[in-house]
Amino acid sequence: MEVVIVVLVVIAALLVIASGVWVAIALVSAVSKRKPRVKRGAKYLAPSFTGGSAQCHANDKNSDEGIL
């Protein structure tokens, strides 16, 4: 019983560390994406964490499909 409790605590600690690593990977990917190139004639592009274009996000707004 004693060992089981400690093992549970250790598993919890490892799960928390795994979550931290997952978010860190997402963060690195979000901040290291290069800004999308502005096409000639386009006024501006919508800001994005994924580097997608304004049109892409406009299409995606309120949809459950995500970016294809």
| Binding interface with other proteins (CB under 8 A) | 1-3, 5-6, 8-10, 12-17, 19-27, 30-31, 46-50, 52, 57, 60-67
- In eight-state DSSP terms, residue 49 is S
Alpha carbons 48 and 52: distance in angstroms, whole number:
6
Least separation, in Å, of the C-beta of 3 and other proteins?
Answer: 5
Cα Rg of the chain, angstroms? 20
Least separation, in Å, of the C-beta of 38 and other proteins?
Answer: 14
Least separation, in Å, of the C-beta of 54 and other proteins?
Answer: 9
**Residue matched to tokens 């592009």:** 45
- In eight-state DSSP terms, residue 61 is T
CB closer to other proteins out of 31 and 40: 31
